[in-house]
Structure 1
Amino acid sequence: MRKLRLPNTFVLLFAILAMIAVSTWLVPGGKYEMQIVGGKSVVDPATFHYIASNPQGLVALMMAPIKGFVEAAEIIGFILIVGGAFAVLAATEAVESMIKTIARAHTRSAFVRAALIPLFVTLFSLGGATFGMSEEAIPFVLIFVPLALALGYDSITGVSIPFLGSQVGFGAAFLNPFNVGIAQKIAGVQPFSGIGYRLICWAIATLATVLFLMWYAARVKADPTRSPTFALDQELRAAHKPGETAFTGMTRTHIAILSIFAGSLIGMVFGVVHGGWGVAEIAALFLSMAIVIGLVGRLDADRFVFAFSSGAKDLVNTALVIALARGTVILARDAHIIDTMLHSLLPLVQSSSPIFAAWKMYGIQSVINFFIHSGTGQAALTMPIMAPLADLVGVTRQTAILAYQFSEFSTPMLPTSGITIGVLALARIPWATWAKWMIPLQLIYVVLSLAMLVPACLMHWQ
């Protein structure tokens, strides 16, 4: 594992920043002319020509992060506000209460026992698809591993319910502000547009995950020795006493808070579809939601501010990643080499069919995801290149964003992912054991990703 460990995202991005600064002295300047198509400014692929470059030195390199911070100020502010809002929601314990309520019901209802995997995977997938649930799923491993063992399953099933659920939702998101929202903003696409087809993709990916887990869990329950973690599970069963909890059920306050949260998501969809809302309006909605939830949850001023600021603080790293990623674009733009880079990438992506071009974009993004696991960071780094590149190869920008999203399906398999390693460490599952188990499901995700990009290309999805 140490041999596979890579520098963290900040080091990688700054290394990329430095490499781009060096490349500005080596790569000639170039320029595409723009044309108006359907009311939007897009690249004219027939107009590339070389121009004088503007090499960037050490001073420009060190100024790039702060310039990136300034240019990405709206996106960064949006992320901090959303992070604070969801931390206020978490502070009320309403979401945790809902999870525990459903979990306890399995002891009383055969239907709940049968529906447990599809229900919880769908709930976690909704979390990933709407508010970017990812690292937040890690603590739930401590709940679901004992629960899975109590139901006769294994640790892998217990880990998969919250972890794979949230990750598949993140990859096939339809309202996630941290990947869909930011990628569309950078690509010049209406925020959260295309929600109809994204909902279909989310449903397909989530259903595939549910069916695979149900098939696997049934096999393990019929013969526990088939589990790769059988020996570990025997130890855990001896250590845990499932069912013992001081939880007394959801309160009316919790129900009211969850209703406010659901209403806010519905309001966001309505505002985007019918009101043309952008990042600023959506941020205002989440801030309003946080205030109302804080009042309903009876959080005093100190607790509210602490929760909000803690949530925003947790996303400072993400904000800095975006600033660094935007800095790479600024260096390349100021040196006049972005269009030259597009021109050089064109042969790698260009195909006889937009479908093959979209598949190649998905492959490139999957490789990048091996190194950069921040969804926002990857969007900030790649979409300024991929969006105009999509124009050149006959792929819509909406489809290019979808190809970027689907690259996230590989995250649960990657030994370089901090989330993956953190989850496995918490469950005491060796990465090699997990990776071997994940191979069939990972192949399913690849096939689904390639298949779901086809309709987007055929209908010229805007």
Structure 2
Amino acid sequence: MNWNIKAPNTLILVLLVMVFFAALTWVIPGGQFDMVEVNGREVVDPESFQYIDSSPTSLTELFLAPVRGFNDPYGMAIIVFVFIVAGSFSIISKTGAFDVVIRRAAKFFSENPAWRPVYIPFFMVLFSVMGATFGMSEETIVFIPLFVTLSLALGYDSITGVAIPYVGAHIGFAGAVYNPFTVGIAQGLAEIPVFSGAGFRMLLWAAVTVTGIIIVYIYASRIHKNPKKSPVYDIDKNRKASEDDGIIPPIKAGHIIVLLLFFGTLGLLIYGVVQLGWYIEELSALFIGLAVLSAIFGRLSGDEAANAFLAGMKDVMGAAVIIALSRAILIIITDGQIVDTILFHLSASLDNLNIYASAGLMLGVQSLLNVIVPSGSGQAALTIPIMAPLGDLIGITRQTVVLIFQLGDGITNMIIPTSGVLMGVLGIARIPWEVWAKWLFIKMLILYAVALVFIVIAVAMGYQ
């Protein structure tokens, strides 16, 4: 008997998730916590939960949800960012600047195999540091075309090309030491000194980073030996067939200028995010500037530049729809008034457990909540005011509660379909979400095992 069942298209899968949560609004009663202001931020009053009139999703609201997903400010900002980044990279690709560097890099690694093992660890550590310090997440989108192309040229696959920047940044995000958007906000809400306990989190960061590198390195090595084992082999084969003619073109002055513009843009991106507080709008504008200047110095005609930009946008059209649908899911559960009810009952489930089981279940609760509240700062504002006092009651320090929060938030960011960033990344890489999820799931459990070890240690030592 043939048990091979074809996974549904990502669009269908996300639509089914949307319908599922709409159905939950008819089953789960509405609930609400009161909000209070703490340190200038609206947070939940953990003692204020009350049931309210349910707001089940009607058929009309279900059909309106995708439209509202496109209209959602954050969702639209991510969609525009993905379009602009894809268009910009398409223009740079058209100039041939990336091509000359990537082909030479591939030639170097093929002629100097002793250097090949450095490729994955070096860049994953770099991205992990950025995830651990300033919370790199959305910014990984801009690196996907470069690392997918380079990874393919080195004999790996597009999953490796995505894993280096995206998994790299998010293992750093999960083991964050000084991330102001998760650790900083959560510690402030838990009323403990901001960025305290950094020494233990540094050990955690090192452990999850090394684990992530080993996972990706072993996988990539297996694919390098036998490319047909890649779950995206057919996708990559078609991509390489259309993009690789085996010729190494000469480097021209225009190529050098475009590459300087590109790396200058990345440097300005990091400075703007860390020092100037830039976010999606500013980063989108930055890449518009990169696209225009690259077209000029790459000596593209107006028609060539416009056609390349539109071709890049066309490649991520499916990702834009998925991003909008992921926002539609969040709109449905928010309007259905079930988020607070879910949070209340999940937190209540921690009663009457021993301290270690409670800590493990807390991690599960934070991970589940990240599906419906994928924003790190938003989840902190929603959960820490409840989890911190709950930790007091069961003997878990508030520092450990924050640690559990950042791990639950960070690890699941790598796989949840409600993350607009992940869906944008996969769209640019042309990797279906279900393929990515199947590849990542077991590997994610390994990261959870590492997380649980550190949580147990934190509980045992009374981490402060």
Match of 1:88 in 2: 91
Residue identity opposite 1:256 in structure 2: I
Q: Deviations over 1:239-297 (max 9, x none)?
A: xxxxx943145433323222211111111221122212222111111111111112121
Distance 1:165-1:445 versus aligned 2 partners, 3 A rule: farther
Match of 1:261 in 2: 262
The equivalent position to 1:360 in structure 2, one of 348, 364, 370, is 364
Match of 1:153 in 2: none
Is 1:76 aligned to residue 79 of structure 2? yes
Q: Deviations over 1:338-367 (max 9, x none)?
A: 21122233346798589646642576489x
SS of equivalent to 2:27: coil
Q: Deviations over 1:1-27 (max 9, x none)?
A: 973533222222222222333332332
TM-score by length of 1: 0.65
Contact 2:364-2:408 at 8 Å conserved across structures: no
Contact 1:386-1:400 at 8 Å conserved across structures: no
Q: Deviations over 1:17-38 (max 9, x none)?
A: 2233333233221101112222
Q: Deviations over 1:284-333 (max 9, x none)?
A: 11111111112121122112112212222222222222222222222222
Is 1:143 aligned to residue 149 of structure 2? no
Match of 1:167 in 2: 163
Q: CA offset at residue 404 of structure 1?
A: 2.7
Distance 1:246-1:454 versus aligned 2 partners, 3 A rule: farther
Q: CA offset at residue 139 of structure 1?
A: 6.0
Distance 1:174-1:52 versus aligned 2 partners, 3 A rule: closer
Contact 1:78-1:279 at 8 Å conserved across structures: yes
Distance 1:189-1:7 versus aligned 2 partners, 3 A rule: farther
Is 1:318 aligned to residue 325 of structure 2? no
Q: CA offset at residue 40 of structure 1?
A: 1.7
Q: Deviations over 1:122-145 (max 9, x none)?
A: 458879975435587666666333
SS of equivalent to 1:35: strand
The equivalent position to 2:386 in structure 1, one of 392, 397, 420, is 392
Match of 1:304 in 2: 305
SS of equivalent to 1:173: helix
**1:101-180 aligned within 5 A:** 101-106=104-109, 112-119=112-119, 122=122, 131-132=140-141, 133=143, 143-145=153-155, 158-159=156-157, 163-164=159-160, 166-173=162-169
Contact 2:144-2:162 at 8 Å conserved across structures: yes
Q: CA offset at residue 448 of structure 1?
A: 4.9
Distance 1:342 1:405 in 2: 19
Residue identity opposite 2:382 in structure 1: P
Distance 1:297 1:454 in 2: 55
Unaligned runs of 5+ residues in structure 2 are: 129-135, 187-194, 231-244, 389-400, 417-421, 423-429
Match of 2:24 in 1: 23
Distance 1:305-1:359 versus aligned 2 partners, 3 A rule: same
Match of 1:283 in 2: 284
Match of 2:393 in 1: none
Contact 2:29-2:54 at 8 Å conserved across structures: yes
Distance 1:188-1:21 versus aligned 2 partners, 3 A rule: farther
Residue identity opposite 2:160 in structure 1: L
Distance 2:350 2:264 in 1: 42
Contact 1:91-1:307 at 8 Å conserved across structures: yes
Distance 1:456-1:379 versus aligned 2 partners, 3 A rule: farther
**1:226-265 aligned within 5 A:** 245-265=246-266
Contact 1:189-1:398 at 8 Å conserved across structures: no
Distance 1:364-1:96 versus aligned 2 partners, 3 A rule: farther
Match of 1:405 in 2: 413
Alignment RMSD, CA only? 5.2
Match of 1:148 in 2: none
TM-score by length of 2: 0.65
SS of equivalent to 1:41: strand
SS of equivalent to 1:298: coil
Deviates more, 1:355-364 or 1:25-34: 355-364
Unaligned runs of 5+ residues in structure 1 are: 146-157, 230-243, 369-377, 412-416, 424-430
Distance 1:343 1:296 in 2: 57
Distance 1:452-1:5 versus aligned 2 partners, 3 A rule: farther
Q: CA offset at residue 101 of structure 1?
A: 1.1
The equivalent position to 1:98 in structure 2, one of 83, 96, 101, is 101
Distance 1:422-1:49 versus aligned 2 partners, 3 A rule: closer
SS of equivalent to 2:413: helix
Contact 1:271-1:277 at 8 Å conserved across structures: yes
Q: Deviations over 1:401-444 (max 9, x none)?
A: 42333558xx9xxxxx9559989xxxxxxx9xx99xx97x7776
Distance 1:460-1:13 versus aligned 2 partners, 3 A rule: farther
Paired-residue identity, %: 26
Contact 1:87-1:307 at 8 Å conserved across structures: yes
Distance 1:36 1:65 in 2: 32
Residue identity opposite 2:92 in structure 1: L
Residue identity opposite 1:114 in structure 2: A
Match of 2:15 in 1: 14
Q: Deviations over 1:154-175 (max 9, x none)?
A: xxxx45xx64353143123279
